[in-house]
Amino acid sequence: MLKNFSKKLFIILMFQIFIFLPISAMAGCEWTDMGIVNGQKQYQYCDKVPGKAGWISSGSDKCSEAAPASMQYAECCCSNVDSSISGSNVNSSMPSWTIPNVKISIPGLAKFEDPKCTGSGENRTCEIDWIGKYMSAIFKYAIGVVGIIATVVLMIGGLVWLTSGGNQTRVGEAKAWIGASLTGLIIALTSYIILYQVNPDLVKFRPIIIGVVSEIEGDNNSKIITPNDINSLNIASGPIADVVKSMIGKFTYDQGKRLTSADGTTYIDCSSFACTVLTKSGYNSPDPSQCTTSGLFKNPSQGVSLDSMAPGTLVGFPPTASNNGSGHVWVSLGNGQFAQASGGKTGRTPGGAISIVDAKSVTSTMAKYDVKNTYLYP
């Protein structure tokens, strides 16, 4: 009986080393009335609503219930996020963070600090190591707990042996207790090596790396362009990647002035950029007069894989598909890379309109504007 109990204790000891403790939620989301003025949405962004400073738009799935029927323009707004990302630009200053308040402190837990951020504008990334620190503290604390349990089990085995009176059955039970305690202690103390051999990533506790999603501006009021507007640009024809690289640093974002020049500055927007790239790289391009997201994207596509998308494919969404009435288009360069012309503070800086992003950035931007479907051209 005692021998069977020791085996059960050993199993429990091995499979319940780690106890995961809750971390308090860092953000809250709720439906917000964006107001209405002359039949139009009064506030375009959550942080513009009175009492919502620092809040940001999120996907509707972040709000637990359906939007109230009383709100004609309802937005799912979330608090406790990077308040530097709001309005129509990206602030390059250090963002503010809400450090989580741990419900139950773990002995040896390192103090949580603000994430380390590097870069600026669309290239800004931040490393958040809170979960890694917490898991590391649990691991170290669990090793100590296992050591104490193993010591207690070892003492029980010794006591059973001392009181066995030479009874071989009792001695065998005592050996089982002692063996189980030593085995458990060895496994606990060598768990790092075991986990490292299984998968080194299991013991590295890497920080979470996040980037910012810059504000995009739709092309609802874009200037109508002509074939001559595209042909007059000083951009050499060639492979699509070369065409895009030759355009980086030469264009500034402006819908109303797209593909025109003034005072040494040439202007562009997302759709005129897409049509220019297709034309200069030899892909099938729409009539320039249709180079708006409304003209490019008519029907949503199914089963879209951004990572395997062929070069020259346009992906994006029309104004009717987003939560703020803006459309956007990216040009696939292949291998999960996409080129775009975007607005905001970065895009309106001279030469700052065009950038290359990855598939994750495309997905994040669509989620930010609550785009449910992906649109392709052709």
Rama region for 358: left / alpha / beta (φ>0; ψ in -120 to 50; rest)? beta
**Residue 17: pLDDT above 50?**
no
CB atoms within 10 A of CB 267: 21
**Residue 264: pLDDT above 90?**
no
Kind of pairing between the strands at 314-317 and 374-377: antiparallel
Mind listing the pLDDT tens digit for each residue in 219-244?
A: 555 678 888 888 888 889 999 999 99
The Cα 112–Cα 131 span in angstroms is 10
Nearest Cα to Cα of residue 214 among 363, 77, 317, 85: 85
Please tell me the least confidently modeled range out of 19-28, 122-131, 305-314, 321-330. 19-28
**Residue 178: pLDDT above 80?**
yes
Q: Is the pTM of this model over 0.75?
A: no
Rama region for 180: left / alpha / beta (φ>0; ψ in -120 to 50; rest)? alpha
Where do runs of H (alpha helix) occur along 39-166? Answer: 130-162
Q: What is the mean pLDDT of the chain?
A: 77
Kind of pairing between the strands at 265-268 and 251-253: parallel
**Residue 86: pLDDT above 80?**
no
Kind of pairing between the strands at 354-358 and 337-341: antiparallel
Q: 101 or 95: whose pLDDT is higher?
A: 101
Environment class of 261 (CB within 10 Å of its CB; exposed 0-12, middle 13-18, buried 19+):
middle
For residues 330 and 362, the answer to whether their CB atoms sit within 8 Å is: yes
Alpha-carbon dihedral of residues 79, 44, 304, 346, nearest 10 degrees?
A: -90
CB atoms within 10 A of CB 167: 12
Environment class of 169 (CB within 10 Å of its CB; exposed 0-12, middle 13-18, buried 19+):
exposed
Strand order in the sheet with 56-57: 29-33, 74-78, 56-57
**Residue 180: pLDDT above 90?**
no
Mind listing the pLDDT tens digit for each residue in 188-218?
A: 778 778 877 888 777 777 788 876 655 555 5
The Cα 375–Cα 298 span in angstroms is 8
The Cα 56–Cα 77 span in angstroms is 5
Q: 93 or 322: whose pLDDT is higher?
A: 322
DSSP for 255-277 reads STTTT-EETTEEEE-HHHHHHHH
pLDDT range class, residue 312, cuts 50, 70, 90: very high
The Cα 72–Cα 51 span in angstroms is 19
At 38 the pLDDT is: 67
The Cα 323–Cα 252 span in angstroms is 25
Nearest Cα to Cα of residue 352 among 94, 122, 91, 95: 122
Mind listing the pLDDT tens digit for each residue in 105-145?
A: 778 777 787 777 776 555 667 888 888 888 888 888 888 88
The Cα 95–Cα 212 span in angstroms is 11
> Can you read off the two tokens belonging to residue 211?
């980037």
Q: Residue 12, Cα to own-chain centre: how many angstroms?
A: 37
**Residue 44: pLDDT above 70?**
no
Region 165-169: mean pLDDT is 84
Residue identified by tokens 């980037």 is 211
Show Cβ contacts of residue 64 under 8 Å, excluding neighbours closer than 6 positions.
29
Please tell me the least confidently modeled range out of 180-189, 312-321, 364-373. 180-189
For residues 14 and 187, the answer to whether their CB atoms sit within 8 Å is: yes
For residues 235 and 247, the answer to whether their CB atoms sit within 8 Å is: yes
Region 66-90: mean pLDDT is 60
The Cα 20–Cα 251 span in angstroms is 51
> Can you read off the two tokens belonging to residue 45?
């962004």
For residues 145 and 191, the answer to whether their CB atoms sit within 8 Å is: no
